[in-house]
Structure 1
Amino acid sequence: MDELLGGHLRVLREAAATGRPPGRAELDDCRAAGALAAERGASVRALVEAALALAESVTPTPFPALRRTVSALMEGYENAQRSALRLEEAARREFVDDLLQGRADRLAERAEHFGLRLAETYVVAVARPAGVTGTGAVGVAGEGGKGGEGGGLAGEAEGTARRIEDALVARFGSHNVLVAVRDGMLVCVAPGSLTVANGEFTHHVRQAFAPGWRVGLGRAHRGPGGVVTSYREGANAIELGDRLGLRAPVLRAADLLVFPVLLRDRAAIEDLVTSVLSPLVEARGGPEPLLATLEAVFASQGNQTAAARRLGVSTRAVTYRLERIRRLTGFSPDDSTQRFTLETAVLGARLLDWPAHPLR
């Protein structure tokens, strides 16, 4: 430490002899010494104590000069710390971006720096703030998609991510979690064995975001490619929740596996929707009230009274609408086979945004 503070000592001796305060160049030398101390891993306390100890050898002690040199030492130290932090954050953002896009350039080596063991199984949670339409990250059923930058987190995003990550690291350790902002959303990567981390992440999202937020949880997958897959599943879960009008704020990809399956054969699902539901277009008031009634009945396990409460209408109105649906389509939710066909068709309609977007 003494070799770093030689300039500091010379400034003090000169000030004691001449009464002249240190100039800009001398203070810059002190700042450089403080930065070098930070780079070598010395603590700021050790740096200040060493500077004060050297000052004791100068008689009389020039306290105004001492105050300025110590201030410059600390300023250089803090600047070096901030610069190192910015570089670390930039490296982290670049690593997360490469990881979630599946770019493999030195990925394992860089993951080790952040404490991630990519041979393990990981789960990715994706959080989207309220008022944002669409995840922007990927499309349903893996349809393409570079993220949009116009929505989601902005401005305070990095600060929010840092606060949540700090809280998770304090509980689970830096080698277990990685939190970052991507495509306007908050992303958390955690080991599949650490299931409680997802709940803790969701807890902090609830506190940080206004009501209306959503969290999508991907399934556990192994390796770097598994992280990419889990991320896409989490983002797709949010997208599916929007399309289907699901109320739950937390959506698990494992609970929604049937929907990507439906969309893989788009021609078949379009044919189903058209064949079963197109007669509803002729209904007075359009198909939307009838579709909403079917959704409420299915969500209530066929209980028409509970469905009426969901819809805010009378039970008689639900009964009338179901009869109207039966007459128009020939399908009734009271029949087990027909109920499955109707429910699948309604889900397909929501996934395809029908009737707002007519089918070919």
Structure 2
Amino acid sequence: MTGSQSTRPGGPATPPAADDWLAPVAASAAKAVQAPEELLGGYLPMLADAAVNGRRPDSSQLEAVRELGRRAAAQGVGARRAVDLYLSAAWRLWRQLPVVARSSDPEKVRRAAEAVLRVLDDAVGVLVDGHQTERRDMVRHEEAQRAGFVDDLLRGDADVARLVERAEPFGIDLGKPHHVALVAPRDGDGTADRAATALERAVVERFGDREVLVATKDGRVVVVVPGGPSPAFALPEGVGVGTVLHQALQRRGIAGRWRVAAGRAFAGAYGVARSYEEALEALTVADRLGLETDVVHARDLLVHRVLGRDQAAMVDLVRDVLSPLERVRGGAEVLLETLQGYFDAGEVATEAARRLHVSVRTVTYRLARVAQLTGYRVSRPDQRFALHAAVLGARLLDWPATPLPAEP
């Protein structure tokens, strides 16, 4: 050791006040583990003081090390590398300690080693604790930022410039088109958080880690994926985003039954919000209609959206076209079910009969009865469209189980 030594009144010799001999130790340890030297702070003087004087650090010194752990996390230095830095510095310091280098007394060396190890244990403990605390705070902050961004993105924040700026760290270019899909559990076995984790991996594998976002909202999984013409984003012919996501859930064996509703792709700052509204409306319509399919796309439900936008017109249509069916003994349910089955089967009587578990003759008889009561025949294109639209409206209104509003 170079430099003069100072002596504490009533105590043993201590290292030089300037601690010049510790600087090379700190630099060597930091270089060895590729970590910032500043993260050592006053740790090396604490070790030296313990070895020479047998003194353990006080609470303020340990609190300073805890703050260094937080700083390491904030700078992106992992806990393992931070601990490696402290261990590396400790054994390098031990080789330079004057009490070890000059003493031939084994007991004195043992006491010095014990004191250093105690300080090392204390310091590493609070270092890791500070690192973990900072990481938890950072995660909570990131989650809060992410949740706030997702809410504003799906709502279509009025501050477009700010929204575009906030989207950049998430890899979202709001000038490009994006699909939004909602993944909702259909039974009590599905857990949105678990599904979100699986879907995030699947989405990144399929679309890459840019222009994608997976989050949870209101008990559902929200998935934002690119919808541009790029070959990297292109989907197989006839396969929609909803199908891709549902297949991903099945491949990964996620428990429960799920329904996926996908909106169309739109560009611009409000494109994501518009696609989200379509997906949400498609999910609502599918639930209201009692659709059995697990995948619904907004483009396939556009006629339902048209009907649903004008509630009064839809009520008038159902009342004027289908209310005569209530004159049948037992009510309109049987004939309405037949019409629904007929249209769902692609207007093929044999397939409708199979799905309804009745004979073809029964189906044709009931359709003829509908024509007799309403004046609308499925054989005439214009009347068939009116019937089909009225049937869709009835399903949206849950008629006849729910009475229609009274006429004004």
TM-score, scaled relative to structure 2 = 0.74
Distance 2:85 2:270 in 1: 50
Q: In structure 1, the residue corresponding to 2:178 is in which secondary structure? A: strand
Shift of 1:313: 3.3
Structure 2 residue aligned with 1:96: 150
Structure 1 residue aligned with 2:186: 130
Q: Give the total of aligned pairs.
A: 338
Correspondence 1:3-42 to 2 at 5 A: 3-19=38-54, 22-42=57-77
Counterparts in 2 of 1:68 and 1:314: CA distance versus 1, 3 Å:
farther
1:38, 1:81 within 8 Å by CA — same for their partners in 2? yes
Structure 1 residue aligned with 2:256: 210
Alignment equivalent of 1:227, drawn from 254, 269, 272: 272
Distance 1:285 1:26 in 2: 85
Distance 1:167 1:5 in 2: 41
Alignment equivalent of 1:85, drawn from 139, 150, 159: 139
Alignment equivalent of 2:377, drawn from 316, 320, 332: 332
1:169, 1:176 within 8 Å by CA — same for their partners in 2? no
More off after superposition, 91-100 vs 102-111: 102-111
Structure 1 residue aligned with 2:29: none
Shift of 1:174: 3.3
Structure 2 residue aligned with 1:278: 323
Q: Quote the sequence identity (%).
A: 46
Shift of 1:237: 1.0
Structure 2 residue aligned with 1:119: 175
Distance 2:296 2:185 in 1: 14
2:185, 2:192 within 8 Å by CA — same for their partners in 1? no
Alignment equivalent of 1:290, drawn from 310, 319, 335: 335
The answer as to 2:211 corresponding to 1:176 is yes
Structure 2 residue aligned with 1:144: none
Structure 1 residue aligned with 2:27: none
More off after superposition, 157-166 vs 9-18: 157-166
Shift of 1:124: 0.9
Distance 1:187 1:97 in 2: 11
Q: In structure 2, the residue corresponding to 1:189 is in which secondary structure? A: strand
Distance 1:22 1:181 in 2: 46
Distance 1:284 1:124 in 2: 46
The answer as to 2:303 corresponding to 1:258 is yes
* CA RMSD between the two structures: 2.7
Shift of 1:26: 3.5
The Cα offsets for residues 197-256 of structure 1, whole Å up to 9 and x where unpaired, read as 655433344544511x22111111111111111110111111222233322211111122
Q: In structure 2, the residue corresponding to 1:179 is in which secondary structure? A: strand
1:114, 1:174 within 8 Å by CA — same for their partners in 2? no
Amino acid at match of 1:115: G
The answer as to 2:245 corresponding to 1:245 is no
Shift of 1:260: 1.9
1:168, 1:200 within 8 Å by CA — same for their partners in 2? no
Counterparts in 2 of 1:171 and 1:276: CA distance versus 1, 3 Å:
closer
Counterparts in 2 of 1:179 and 1:280: CA distance versus 1, 3 Å:
same
Amino acid at match of 2:302: L
